[in-house]
Structure 1
C-alpha cells in the first residue's frame, strides 16, 4: 500500500498510540480546533505495530512507546497528515522526549504500511510496567487536556 497514493498525503504517515488517538485532541493538534474532530476521522485508520510496548509514564497522562520483544503489539491509529505543516505540528506536540522512528503497521485489511511512530527517548525508570489506558484517558482526562490547550495553537 502506498500511503501517498491511497490518501493523497504529501508526507509519511505517523502511527499514534496515546493521547492523539482521541479525535478532539488530534483535531486541536493538526487543525488548531478540537471542535473539528469529525474532520480528522478520514485522516486516520486503525492499525497495530509489533515489537513495541506502550507503557504508562509515572505521574503523567500520556504513554511511552518502547521496544519490546516480537510478541508485543500496540494498537493505535495511522495518521495521514494532509500537509508538511500538520506533520511538523505532530512533531511539536510530541516534543523532545520522543524520537520519530520508522515502523511497519499491520492494517486491518491485512496489508502492511511503512510509517513513523514517536518512540520514548527517556529512561525506563520513568515508566510503569503496565500498559497505558486509553479509555481512562478519554473519559477522565481528555476534557482537562482540551481546556488546558484551549486558545493555543501548535506551530507547523
Structure 2
C-alpha cells in the first residue's frame, strides 16, 4: 500500500492494537512468530494524546481516530523498525483502511518522540462506541491469528 508520509528506517511507529502482541509483531517483521523474543528489545511502552481507540464491529483489530477531547489518550508500544523493508511489511499488514500519520509519543521516562501511527480512514459506521481490548485479543484471538498466518510471510 503506498503511503503519503515518508519514514526512514529508523523512524519509530506507535502500535496500539494487534501488533502489541510480540508473536504477531515478530511474524510481521521477521516472518516467524516464534522470534517474539527478538522484537521485545525493539519496543517501549508509550502513550499518544488526542486520539481514541475503538473496537471495529465484527473484527478482531481496532481503529484509531482523532478525538476532540485533548485528554483522550491511547496506550501502546513504540516500535523501532530496523529497515525500510520492515516498514513496507507494516504498511502491508495494516492495509488500505489505515493511513500512516505523524504523532508524538510520550514514553515512560516522560520524554517524547516523533513517530508515526496508523489512523483509521475506513467507514466510521464500522466503529463501535467502546474501546478495543488488547487483553481479550491476546487471550482469546491471538492464537487463531498465529495459526492463520503460520507459513505465510509478508514481502518487504
Q: What TM-score does the superposition give when structure 2 sets the normalisation length?
A: 0.93
Q: Distance in 2 between matches of 1:64 and 1:10?
A: 24
Do the aligned partners of 2:9 and 2:87 also contact (CA within 8 Å) in 1? no
After TM superposition, give the deviation of residue 55 of structure 1 in Å.
Answer: 0.1
| Aligned counterpart, 2:130 | 130
Q: 82-91 or 129-138: which moved more?
A: 82-91
Q: 1:65·1:120 contact (CA, 8 Å) conserved in 2?
A: yes
SS of match in other structure, 2:47 = strand
Aligned counterparts of 1:11 and 1:43: Cα–Cα separation in 2 = 11
CA distance in 2, matches of 1:32, 1:24: 10
SS of equivalent to 1:99 = strand
Q: Does 1:14 align with 2:17?
A: no
Query: Once the two structures are superposed, what CA deviation does each residue of 1:71-111 show, in whole Å capped at 9, x if it has no partner?
Result: 10000000000111111110010010000000000110110
Match of 2:109, SS state, is: coil
What are the equivalent positions in structure 2 for 1:26-105 lying under 5 Å apart?
26-68=25-67, 69-105=69-105
The Cα of 1:11 is off from its aligned counterpart by 2.7
RMSD: 0.9
Aligned to 1:5: none
1:151 aligned partner: 151
> 4+ residue stretches of structure 1 with deviation over 6 A?
none
Deviation sequence 1:54-74 (CA, Å, 0-9, x none):
000000000000001201000
What is the CA–CA distance in structure 2 between the aligned matches of 1:155 and 1:45, rounded to whole Å?
25
Q: Distance in 1 between matches of 2:47 and 2:9?
A: 22
Instruction: Specify every segment of 5 or more residues in structure 1 that has no aligned partner in the other structure, as ranges.
Output: 1-8
TM score, norm. by length of structure 1:
0.93
Equivalents in 2 of 1:155, 1:101: separation in Å?
A: 22
Deviation at 1:147, TM superposition (A): 0.3
Counterpart residue number, 1:6: none
